[in-house]
Amino acid sequence: MSRARLRDLGVTTGTLPTGAWNAITDVPGVRVGYSTLVHDQPAIVRTGVTAIWPRGPELWTDAVFAGIHSFNGNGEMTGWAWIAEQGMLASPICITNTHCVGVVRDAVCAYAVRARVPMPWLLPVVAETYDGWLSDAGTFPITTAHAFAALDGAASGPIAEGNVGGGTGMICHEFKGGTGTASRVAQVAGDAYTVGALVQANYGARELLRVDGVPVGREIGLDVVPSHRDAPRDSGSIIVVLATDAPLLPIQCQRLARRATTGLAWVGGVGFNGSGDIFLAFATGNHVPHGEAITTLRMLSADNMNPLFQAAAEATEEAILNALTAAETMVGRQSRTAHALPLDLLTATMRRYRPAP
Amino acid sequence: MSRARLRDLGVTTGTLPTGAWNAITDVPGVRVGYSTLVHDQPAIVRTGVTAIWPRGPELWTDAVFAGIHSFNGNGEMTGWAWIAEQGMLASPICITNTHCVGVVRDAVCAYAVRARVPMPWLLPVVAETYDGWLSDAGTFPITTAHAFAALDGAASGPIAEGNVGGGTGMICHEFKGGTGTASRVAQVAGDAYTVGALVQANYGARELLRVDGVPVGREIGLDVVPSHRDAPRDSGSIIVVLATDAPLLPIQCQRLARRATTGLAWVGGVGFNGSGDIFLAFATGNHVPHGEAITTLRMLSADNMNPLFQAAAEATEEAILNALTAAETMVGRQSRTAHALPLDLLTATMRRYRPAP
Amino acid sequence: MSRARLRDLGVTTGTLPTGAWNAITDVPGVRVGYSTLVHDQPAIVRTGVTAIWPRGPELWTDAVFAGIHSFNGNGEMTGWAWIAEQGMLASPICITNTHCVGVVRDAVCAYAVRARVPMPWLLPVVAETYDGWLSDAGTFPITTAHAFAALDGAASGPIAEGNVGGGTGMICHEFKGGTGTASRVAQVAGDAYTVGALVQANYGARELLRVDGVPVGREIGLDVVPSHRDAPRDSGSIIVVLATDAPLLPIQCQRLARRATTGLAWVGGVGFNGSGDIFLAFATGNHVPHGEAITTLRMLSADNMNPLFQAAAEATEEAILNALTAAETMVGRQSRTAHALPLDLLTATMRRYRPAP
Amino acid sequence: MSRARLRDLGVTTGTLPTGAWNAITDVPGVRVGYSTLVHDQPAIVRTGVTAIWPRGPELWTDAVFAGIHSFNGNGEMTGWAWIAEQGMLASPICITNTHCVGVVRDAVCAYAVRARVPMPWLLPVVAETYDGWLSDAGTFPITTAHAFAALDGAASGPIAEGNVGGGTGMICHEFKGGTGTASRVAQVAGDAYTVGALVQANYGARELLRVDGVPVGREIGLDVVPSHRDAPRDSGSIIVVLATDAPLLPIQCQRLARRATTGLAWVGGVGFNGSGDIFLAFATGNHVPHGEAITTLRMLSADNMNPLFQAAAEATEEAILNALTAAETMVGRQSRTAHALPLDLLTATMRRYRPAP
């Protein structure tokens, strides 16, 4: 069966409407690019790089506001201290595998040098999840060129999901995981704001997986679709990047990032010990041009945050589910197989749990 | 229909077994006491104090380790800075209404003075949720004597739920809320540890309420059971106190506290802006006697935290649901009515969402 | 010898100019009031309440931005979670003794109820330091009326220092301590902004005391002016409140608050274990009217923060020193005496450390 | 004049005794190694890598406890989220230049792969300060081999200071800066514990520099020794690594790290906006062997932390001053010169501020 997005299967979660592409790129200006490495020689590699531009190349000198939340910090997100201190983000975000965070991080610096960005230094944001069960991570397969390709290839519009970019070798709830995205449009005080999520989903136990509350993981158990047996179940992670065009302050971006926890919980993530569950939210609704002494800003009132909070939770939930429904079964090193979530079993399970008439 | 606990209705959530009483008091040494004020003269008051002793009176000089997480900090928990700094808790925890945090906080100091505790000063932990929709909060009805009574009356064993103690005047998912409790027993490295939760549940929107994934709030909508219409839906809060007998360090208590977010999400809490969603976890598995220069401790390894994390999430979830199923319809000031969750509709809804054969 | 402010003694610290009154009240709109309790019957009491209004009574519905830093959290500052979450402050700040934080905290709520503030609830900010060495703290001497008096009596202009308000019974570097204030004017991008500090200084070891780098505490040792011998030296605290009229965001207020650490270090504070060294900074340069959906703000750029950082450090340093030079010798319970810093010895010491020609 | 350590010049700061080498290596088991790159072809490079092993190679499976504090987060320290979450450190710490954090970070992973460390993944701690004023940072000169060399070359005993390792191209208080170290021995409850500091000092304004309280920076002004004129004065940073053999918990390591702020303040650092002032403390007094379900630990009581706090502040202060007195004048790219602090002027200034008889 070919892969699909959750909504294409007739399954809807949440209550808010989606954006045009039901993707993080529904937030105007946000662009996403990938480098995907799937090869068996000289080593078996299933990995990649995902690049997210919060706005166009003007980003280097026109920061967005941002905030981070670590639900379970067994992971890496470089640039952490800077965002915690300043609440600003002035470089693209990348996500890759655990061993290659460094090369991608320096590559963003090199990209800026090449682009003659007028900043003497940068503190790029690069996060990771671990793909060493399928991919020979010890070969450090990512290069600067892969990072550049992801950065250069970034585009708006619909984006690929599943085994793509940094999400290539991921495993989620003991099914094949990967990259997923979704969005919501929230009505706030007479205006419509979009909240988009992109996740690199690599966490979770089978029996905890829920889809719109239905215990799909219990119903499609390890006897039906085998798990990756020999790895500790908790050696995963999930990175969530939330984008919005609402005019939020840094402290409000932190609040938004925290709501990814809710969406993650709805799917069945409890933040296992070995998991790096780190969430970043940025808001493009304000401009912070470099060199301006006093910047005029707009702030959405605290009382109006609730629709955005719900949008963030819903977009995170659906982005994870899209990663699961899009990712295809993958065979990796040592002939290990990560099985995709069977879509026919998923829809059948959803039907069974529909209310009896 | 008389009120009940969730499990008495045949509804089970989560997978781990409960403790003997399915209560926070399943953690050995933990005691809970209440003062409940329900009177109409001289003012209409629906409020109270809940007191939780992490261990016996030796607590004053034999601290437990503790950690706090604020999912949404629109609330008060005194003693915050001290617990964040030291990771220790050496006084009982109280929960009351928003306007009376102070009197209860000083009352804990006075209680210690009366008990001739050999500490020159204390930084008590007192938290709150707001009951001003039903209760005339502006009359500041709680006194030192009410706090003393809750502290003095604390006991182990089964404990009251619903309209009791600090939970008396609460509203949750637009039904009558209140105090609830639950527990789980987790097997960790050959030992059994208990995680108990006590919540004061006063948050949430009707349509987000879920029971074991079933959208109960959508099914028992505002047309079926009216809400409290004139108050902003987000003017609530939830305090979660987690207890465990596992030998955790302060930093591990912080991690445990963070998992209350997951349990809250499963019931449908997204941390509305006006909500003080503040979680405290303490661990009695170590003793920290005052005056000892070097203390010997035991630490459960990080790799063994997962069962506790799941236990914390499950206990929080069920404690909230127990608050809802235990709380009775209450009429308060201005003849306002907070309606209890109808148990017959709840069980009927749960049956409808059971899988078709 | 009568008491004085540091500059009146010919001693200057730092490099930036002061405001008109060299006080926190140099920040336009900031008002300070005190209640001071010094009596021997029915108990020996040396305590009080300090109230700080960030702006006029419009504060209740026109918040200032604020941020907190805890250098050593062995103390209490209520309202912590709310400020950490929202970065806003919409009620006056009070400082009192440790045992009476609660009554003052609830009194601020009662004050708002009396003033018919249109907010259903409040999360007031009340901090404390411990005065139990001189004052019979176990009698809980502060009442709601004392808090009201401090709030009602608040005024702009020069303010009292030393044994006044919450600072009445304080001890600092083993001399008599108390309340102190100072201010600095910083030139930033063509504009002048004021940073004012008010401290309640109750911390520190004699031998660490420095004035403009001169080791005054070593020179005026315990053999010259006795200490309070029987109390642990670390049973103190310092609360620092920083005010500025610069247009800062919440995250920038947090940064400013952190710089109180620097000023404290310059005087000789290292954050002893028993000390509650908690710092709050607020910025009046923006208005956040309640009920506004979108608020327009101004933000000083990060690159322009340095003069404010230095101003915060300098104002904190001088405020502590003003507390020391203003506070008079006090006899308290059990005939204990806290000796004032001898001003003649101070000036003589400063002269001795002036550079040789 | 040849360079020296501060104490060799007859200048002493603080009151606690030093360890045998007055270096971070006084903490048993701690080893330090450097790679230093000073060459003019193919590009003018003044940079390097500093490696710190908290204990021997057993570190990979026998973690130390650790904690981080960011006084001003305009810098990078990878591994942040993991240390904040777990409080453990199980890999060597490296410090390098800003653009090369990534390559060094991945190199630590590669080093572990080469050493067949039985961990599937690592989250290494690599920090940085910016050397682009003297060094052509845009050439990304550091390679994996340089990191390996620093890691392999680590040794106990006296260690090099000044223009060495990651500190090679640093500038501090507008003099030539670099790497510095110092230590203190604190008597605590009948035991002696060592606290050692290693700094990479690259921050600060000339006029704020103080040595034991003496305003050396004002006395040796820009007219006497020129500054690096064309760079913004705040484009620096300081990384402080604190080590102790005391048996501290993670939360206590965080407390210790915070005291680096005090030592930094004593020298004249106020945390300029552009500065990454990030401090890490680790404690070797406990062992946390991987794979152990329950670990027995010892904890120094909170009441006994003060000597360690003072030791941390003093060691940080002297380590910075040692960096200044050890670093030699350096000429870098574009023929720029960073002038060393003149030792004769320093000692003459110190004499002038000695008390008059």
| pLDDT, tens digit, 9 for 90 and up, residues A208-232 | 999 999 999 999 999 999 987 665 5
Look at the block and give the residue holding tokens 């500025």.
Answer: C244
For D354, the closest chain C residue by CA position comes to: C353
pLDDT at C53 (0 to 100):
98
CB A11 within 8 A of CB A341: no
Which of B216, B254, B306, B346 is the best substitution to test chain A (most A C-beta atoms within 10 A)?
B306
**In Å, how far are B325, C57, C290, D203 from C295, measured between CA atoms?**
42, 20, 10, 37
pLDDT of B160 > 60? The answer is yes
C135 is catalytic: no
**Residue C7 dihedral angles phi and psi, to the nearest 5°:** -70, -25
Q: Would you say the ipTM is above 0.90?
A: yes
Per-residue pLDDT of B295-339, as tens digits, reads 999 999 999 999 999 999 999 999 999 999 999 999 999 999 999
Q: What is the mean pLDDT of residues C247-255?
A: 98
d(CA B324, CA B345): 13
pLDDT at C99 (0 to 100):
95
B51-69 b/e (C-beta count within 10 Å ≥ 16 → b): bbbbbeeebbebbbbbbbb
pLDDT at B290 (0 to 100):
92
Measured CA angle at C104 (ends C101, C110), to 5 deg: 145
D234 touches chain A (CB under 8 A): no
D119 touches chain B (CB under 8 A): no
CB A347 within 8 A of CB A11: yes
pLDDT at D121 (0 to 100):
87
Kindly name the residue from B26, B131, B237, B245 that is annotated as catalytic.
B237
Closest CA–CA distance from residue A262 to any residue of chain B (Å) = 5
Distance of CA C3 to the CA centre of its chain: 19
- C33-37, C193-197, C282-286, D137-141, range with the lowest pLDDT: D137-141
pLDDT at D234 (0 to 100):
61
pLDDT at C230 (0 to 100):
60
Cβ-defined contact of D87 to B299 (cutoff 8 Å): no
C276-289 b/e (C-beta count within 10 Å ≥ 16 → b): bbbbbbbbbbbbbe
Per-residue pLDDT of B57-100, as tens digits, reads 999 999 999 999 999 999 999 999 999 999 999 999 999 999 99
Of residues D281 and C235, which shows the higher confidence score? D281
Would strands C125-129 and C93-97 be described as parallel, antiparallel, or unpaired? parallel
For residue D282, the SS3 value is strand
pLDDT at C235 (0 to 100):
67
Q: What is the mean pLDDT of residues A60-75?
A: 97
d(CA A198, CA A180): 6
Stated pTM of the model: 0.98
d(CA D83, CA D279): 12
Smallest Cα–Cα separation from D96: which of D87, D104, D107, D88? D104
Closest CA–CA distance from residue D337 to any residue of chain C (Å) = 25
Per-residue pLDDT of A139-187, as tens digits, reads 999 999 999 999 999 999 999 999 999 999 999 999 999 999 999 999 9
Smallest Cα–Cα separation from C228: which of C170, C156, C168? C170
Average pLDDT of every residue of chain B: 96
| Residue type (1 letter), D221 | G
Angle between helices B260-267 and B250-258 (to 10 degrees): 10
Cβ-defined contact of B273 to A207 (cutoff 8 Å): no
Domain edges within chain A:
13-350
Measured CA angle at D347 (ends D341, D353), to 5 deg: 115
Q: What is the mean pLDDT of residues C11-24?
A: 97
Smallest Cα–Cα separation from B183: which of B277, B327, B323, B318? B318
Kindly name the residue from B275, B303, B335, B344 that is annotated as catalytic.
B275
**Confidence class of residue A344 from pLDDT cuts 50, 70 and 90?**
very high
d(CA A292, CA C300): 9
Give me the residue from D189, D250, D303 closest to B249, CB to CB.
D250
For D270, the closest chain C residue by CA position comes to: C262
CB A191 within 8 A of CB A30: no
Distance of CA C149 to the CA centre of its chain: 19
pLDDT of B56 > 70? The answer is yes
Q: Which CATH number describes the domain made up of B13-350?
A: 3.60.70.12
Calculate what percentage of chain B has a pLDDT beyond 90: 94
Kindly name the residue from C35, C156, C235, C237 that is annotated as catalytic.
C237
**Confidence class of residue C286 from pLDDT cuts 50, 70 and 90?**
very high
pLDDT at C354 (0 to 100):
87
Cβ-defined contact of D249 to B294 (cutoff 8 Å): no
Half-sphere CA count of D169, side-chain side, radius 13 A: 30
Distance of CA C223 to the CA centre of its chain: 29
Q: What is the mean pLDDT of residues C257-286?
A: 97
Tell which C residues from 310 to 339 touch D, by Cβ distance under 8 Å: 310, 313
Average pLDDT of every residue of chain C: 96
A270 touches chain B (CB under 8 A): yes
CB B37 within 8 A of CB B48: yes
Give me the residue from A86, A105, A130 closest to D121, CB to CB.
A130
Give me the residue from A86, A102, A235 closest to D105, CB to CB.
A102
**In chain B, beta strands by DSSP E:** 31-39, 45-53, 62-73, 88-89, 93-97, 125-129, 171-172, 175-176, 178-188, 191-202, 237-244, 276-289, 294-300, 330-331, 337-338
Question: Chain B partners of A310 at a C-beta cutoff of 8 Å?
Answer: 270
d(CA B12, CA D177): 64
Half-sphere CA count of B211, side-chain side, radius 13 A: 32
Q: What is the mean pLDDT of residues B162-174?
A: 97
Closest CA–CA distance from residue B257 to any residue of chain D (Å) = 12
pLDDT at A12 (0 to 100):
96
Q: What is the mean pLDDT of residues C32-60?
A: 97
Report the residue count for chain D.
Answer: 357
Cβ-defined contact of A104 to D109 (cutoff 8 Å): no
d(CA A303, CA B274): 7
Subunits with at least 3 CB pairs below 8 A relative to chain A?
B, C, D
pLDDT at D180 (0 to 100):
98
Report the residue count for chain A.
Answer: 357
Using CA atoms of D160, D161, D167, D169 in order, give the dihedral in degrees to the nearest 10: -110
Q: Which residue ranges of chain D lie beneath pLDDT 70?
A: 1, 229-235, 356-357
Q: What is the mean pLDDT of residues C316-330?
A: 98
Calculate what percentage of chain B has a pLDDT beyond 70: 97
C277 is catalytic: yes
Cβ burial, residue B185 (10 Å; 0-12/13-18/19+): middle
Cβ-defined contact of B261 to A265 (cutoff 8 Å): yes
Closest CA–CA distance from residue C291 to any residue of chain A (Å) = 8
CB A327 within 8 A of CB A134: no
pLDDT at D60 (0 to 100):
96
pLDDT of A236 > 90? The answer is no
pLDDT at D355 (0 to 100):
86
